[in-house]
Amino acid sequence: MPDTLTILGIESSCDDTAAAVVRGPRVGEGGGTILSNVVAAQTDLHAAFGGIVPEIAARAHAEKLDLCVEAALAQAGLGLQEIDAVAVTAGPGLIGGVLAGVMCAKGIAAGAGLPLVGVNHLAGHALTPRLTDGLGFPYLMLLVSGGHCQFLLVQGAEDFRRLGGTIDDAPGEAFDKTAKLLGLPQPGGPSVEAEARAGDAGRFAFPRPLLDRPGCDMSFSGLKTALLRARDELVEVQGGLRRQDRADLCAGFQAAVAAVLAEKTRRALRAGAEALAAPVPALAVGGGVAANRQLRAALEHVAHEAGTRFLAPPLALCTDNAAMIAWAGLERFRAGGRDDMRLSARPRWPLDRQSPALLGSGRRGAKA
Ligand code: KG4
Ligand code: ZN
């Protein structure tokens, strides 16, 4: 028996149809090798609607899934007979898309006689630093994207403790709404970051939501309201926005998001150390917002202060992809995890079953 496992991963919980093949050790720790990583984005299909339309997403997934799987196998240079198991995102996410992925995976598993492994999408994000860097347990993961925002203390491949999360919008959602309010292109994160470069972060006093309260929970919807108010005041006084106003608003907003995430990370590292009764050895970040340079620098600084290692996986593996699903599937599979044809798609699926559900539900699916 070879000492490696080769897993086909499938992801379709949001607006990216993805398939990948990943190889990793059959026993023990150590990182993985990505043999292929195919992503078909749906950005164009949803552009006219100003957000993701679940029905359009589901239909596009159903059309593209088998093509992505074929491409992933071809790029890896492998046939299904060389695959050990099929891993698929079974939730949380937009139910039509998750269902399309689960049905596709069941078909392949049944047809090829392969084991089926259902994977939690958030576990995929949270275990990515193990795929890329062979990071050992435990570590603190900050997941920040358009649909997710939470601190997870990761102590095992299926052992996640949520130390805090957003009670309303995810940061990426706030970046996207900010861009919309200022007439900047979507996705909002990169456009707001680019504008902010020429801006003065001190001109507008944006709030730092929930910093006055203990704990690691966060809130980002008030920031967007503050930005809207500042914009409207400028429009009323000047009759419109100048280029510099836009840059200053973006810089102020971005600085507020980075400051809140940095301070909450400080607290999460302390809470994690308390839970472990030892310092948290590593801080990792994932999700699309992890691309933000000011945020990365702020988190790196926090980690440095705390004497903790800092890891940020390459951007293509921070955003939604199937390599992370294949890897999380590999970790479950080698620990004995298996599913059968009764595997169901779950719109909500908290990683940490002990923590109470968070309030926000977000446009891109569950955050809990
Ligand atoms: O992880 P992702 O690709 O998809 C999910 O939301 O699951 O993250 C996309 C989000 C978008 O909201 C986008 O505006 C944000 O990540 N984003 C950024 C940056 N690049 C992408 N936010 C801030 N700064 C960036 N450079
Ligand atoms: Zn995601």
CATH of the domain at 99: 3.30.420.40
CB atoms within 10 A of CB 67: 13
> Which one-letter DSSP state was computed for residue 113?
T
**pLDDT tens string 85-126:** 999 999 999 999 999 999 999 999 999 999 999 999 999 999
Which of 175, 220, 254 has most ligand 1 atoms within 8 Å of its beta carbon, as the pocket-test mutant? Answer: 175
Residues 194 and 307 in one domain: yes
Residues 112 and 188 in one domain: no
- Rounded Cα gap, residues 86 and 76, in angstroms: 15
Residue with tokens 């925002």: 149
Q: What is the position in ligand 1's atom list of the atom closest to the CA of 14? A: 7
- Rounded Cα gap, residues 226 and 184, in angstroms: 18
362 lines ligand 1 (CB under 6 A): no
| pLDDT of the residue at 202 | 96
Q: Give yes or no for a cis peptide into 92 (omega within 30° of 0).
A: yes
pLDDT > 70 in the chain, percent: 96
| pLDDT of the residue at 185 | 87
User: The domain containing residue 256 runs over which residues?
Assistant: 139-316
- Asked whether the predicted pLDDT for residue 363 surpasses 90, the reply is no
- Rounded Cα gap, residues 35 and 76, in angstroms: 5
Residues 59 and 160 in one domain: no
- For residue 237, with 0-12 CB atoms within 10 Å meaning exposed, 13-18 middle and 19 or more buried, which class applies? exposed
Q: How much is the average pLDDT of 292-310?
A: 97
- Asked whether the predicted pLDDT for residue 266 surpasses 90, the reply is yes
Kindly indicate the confidence band of residue 368, based on its pLDDT and cuts at 50, 70 and 90: very low
147 lines ligand 1 (CB under 6 A): yes
Kindly indicate the confidence band of residue 356, based on its pLDDT and cuts at 50, 70 and 90: low
- Rounded Cα gap, residues 255 and 199, in angstroms: 11
- Asked whether the predicted pLDDT for residue 362 surpasses 60, the reply is no
Q: How much is the average pLDDT of 126-132?
A: 96
- Asked whether the predicted pLDDT for residue 359 surpasses 80, the reply is no
Listed residue (195, 173, 293) closest to 252, CA to CA: 195
| pLDDT of the residue at 341 | 97
- Rounded Cα gap, residues 248 and 258, in angstroms: 15
146 lines ligand 1 (CB under 6 A): yes
Domain count, the chain: 2
| pLDDT of the residue at 357 | 63
Listed residue (347, 275, 317) closest to 39, CA to CA: 317
| pLDDT of the residue at 212 | 85
288 lines ligand 1 (CB under 6 A): yes
C-alpha 122 – ligand 2 centre gap (Å)? 7
| pLDDT of the residue at 344 | 97
C-alpha 171 – ligand 1 centre gap (Å)? 8
- Asked whether the predicted pLDDT for residue 364 surpasses 70, the reply is no
42 neighbors 103 (Cβ within 8 angstroms): no
| pLDDT of the residue at 1 | 73
Residues 241 and 299 in one domain: yes
| pLDDT of the residue at 102 | 98
What sign results for the dihedral spanned by CA atoms 102, 113, 86, 69? negative
Q: What is the position in ligand 1's atom list of the atom closest to the CA of 170? A: 12
What sign results for the dihedral spanned by CA atoms 326, 329, 333, 339? negative
- Rounded Cα gap, residues 207 and 250, in angstroms: 14
286 lines ligand 1 (CB under 6 A): no
| pLDDT of the residue at 187 | 85
Six-digit token string for 160: 């996640």
Residues 169 and 259 in one domain: yes
Q: Give yes or no for a cis peptide into 129 (omega within 30° of 0).
A: no
Residues 58 and 160 in one domain: no
Task: Name the domain boundary from 316, 331, 358.
Answer: 316
Mean pLDDT of the chain: 93
- Higher-pLDDT residue of 210 and 274 is 274
Query: In sequence order, what DSSP letters do the residues of 137-187 get, joined into one string?
Result: SPEEEEEESSS-EEEEEEEETTEEEEEEEBSS--HHHHHHHHHHHTTPPSS
**pLDDT tens string 5-46:** 999 999 999 889 999 999 999 997 779 999 999 998 887 888
- Rounded Cα gap, residues 241 and 202, in angstroms: 18
Q: What is the position in ligand 1's atom list of the atom closest to the CA of 173? A: 12
Which run of H or of E encompasses 333?
A: helix 323-334
| HSE-CB of 93 using CA atoms within 13 angstroms | 31
Residues 213 and 71 in one domain: no
190 lines ligand 1 (CB under 6 A): yes
364 lines ligand 1 (CB under 6 A): yes
| pLDDT of the residue at 358 | 62
CB atoms within 10 A of CB 296: 16
Q: What is the position in ligand 1's atom list of the atom closest to the CA of 146? A: 6
Residues 188 and 262 in one domain: yes
Residues 248 and 333 in one domain: no
The residue whose C-alpha atom lies closest to atom 22 belonging to ligand 1 is: 189
Q: How much is the average pLDDT of 129-134?
A: 96
| pLDDT of the residue at 42 | 82
Number of H helices, E strands in the chain: 11, 10
C-alpha 190 – ligand 1 centre gap (Å)? 8
Residues 270 and 247 in one domain: yes
Of the ranges 126-140, 206-220, 301-315, which one carries the lowest mean pLDDT score? 206-220
- Asked whether the predicted pLDDT for residue 168 surpasses 50, the reply is yes
| HSE-CB of 261 using CA atoms within 13 angstroms | 32
| pLDDT of the residue at 365 | 42
| HSE-CB of 149 using CA atoms within 13 angstroms | 29
**pLDDT tens string 37-79:** 999 888 788 877 777 888 888 898 999 999 999 999 999 999 9
E strands present in 240-288:
282-286
Residues 358 and 225 in one domain: no
176 lines ligand 1 (CB under 6 A): yes
The residue whose C-alpha atom lies closest to atom 16 belonging to ligand 1 is: 288
169 lines ligand 1 (CB under 6 A): no
Residues 203 and 311 in one domain: yes
Ligand nearest to the CA of 125: 2
Name the amino acid, one letter, at 151.
F
The residue whose C-alpha atom lies closest to atom 3 belonging to ligand 1 is: 319
C-alpha 143 – ligand 1 centre gap (Å)? 11
CB atoms within 10 A of CB 128: 28
